[in-house]
Amino acid sequence: MSFLTGKTALVTGSTSGIGLGIATELAKAGIRIAVHSIPGDKHAEDAVKAVKEAGAPDAKFFAADVSKPDAIHDLIAEVEAWSPIDILVNNAGIQFTAGITDMPDEKWDAIIAINLSASFHTMKAALPLMEKRGYGRIINVASVHGLVASKDKVPYVAAKHGLVGMSKVVALEYAAKGDAEAGGITVNCIAPGFTETPLIEDQIQAAAKRAGGDRDAGIAELLSEKQPSLRMTQTSDLGALAVFLCGHAAQNLTGATIPVDGGWTAQ
């Protein structure tokens, strides 16, 4: 049995896209998966089935609106009652683009609540439980926009920069806690650049059409301004990184933000 076999991960926003990609790779490592999304998500059943087929010894869907602190505390309690949380992946997020003077106040509030405050509340609830068990991994899915900015994304960039900073603080607070043999407690961020998910498929299709139907050429054109590799990251790539961060070899890797962005933030 591997070091991770039988551990339990809660992955927020994990019925599709990056969250599902990470949950699937964790499942392949023998980790039990608490799949999460908003109540009524039509993809929930398929996501649970997918992670079970990938190798999760068990999986269950948990619904919660993570813009609400009370719902988050209920979520953590419900997952803990099902299986103690060893790994917390904060992936849930939303986006809205507009210049600052055109940004609706309610969009600012919602993006900060879901993309930043939710991670504060999940970590605050989960970390004392991890400390008692001597092992814990928190992986916060940030973004290149946690390291650099783009126009028309003021709440998103603010939230992701905040997530990176908050993760460093929590990593320092818990660096010496936990048990070395068990693997300790670490807090890190993954910062994806352009990642191939259903959310940007329309952009890819439009770029492919401009390139005469050549999908790869279209992707290269789409990425040319930002991502030097001219290649999309796959959600499974992010999942593989998450698996490494959860392993014993990463027990002294904490407080880091790891860009997976084809060189975007190296420029």
pTM of the model: 0.96
Within 13 Å, how many C-alpha atoms sit on residue 10's CB side? Answer: 31
Rounded to whole angstroms, the Cα distance separating 58 from 63 reads 17
So what's the architecture of 8-193+234-266 in CATH? 3-Layer(aba) Sandwich (3.40)
For residues 24 and 19, give the distance between their C-alpha atoms in angstroms, rounded to a whole number.
Answer: 9
Question: 149-195: per-residue pLDDT in tens?
Answer: 999 999 999 999 999 999 999 999 999 998 889 999 999 999 999 99
At 17-63, the pLDDT tens digits run 999 999 999 999 999 999 999 999 999 999 999 999 999 999 999 99
Question: Which tokens in the block code for residue 213?
Answer: 């139907």
30 in the Ramachandran plot: left (φ > 0), alpha (ψ -120 to 50) or beta?
left
Q: Please give the angle made by the CA atoms of 41, 23 and 258, to the nearest 5 degrees.
A: 120
Instruction: For residues 107-125, give the mean pLDDT.
Output: 98
Please, what is the average pLDDT of the chain?
96
Residue 81: count other Cβ atoms within 10 Å of its Cβ: 8
What are the sequence ranges of the domains in the chain? 8-193+234-266, 195-231
8-11 sheet: strands from edge to edge = 59-63, 32-37, 8-11, 87-90, 135-141, 184-192, 257-260
pLDDT at 199: 78
Q: Is the pLDDT of residue 221 over 80?
A: yes
Question: Is 1 a residue whose pLDDT tops 60?
Answer: no
Q: Given this model, what pLDDT does residue 179 score?
A: 86
The pLDDT, as a whole number, for residue 202 is 86
Catalytic residue set: 156
Query: Could you tell me the pLDDT band of residue 3, with boundaries at 50, 70 and 90?
Result: very high
- Tens digit of each residue's pLDDT (9 = 90 or more) over 226-260: 999 999 999 999 999 999 999 999 999 999 999 99
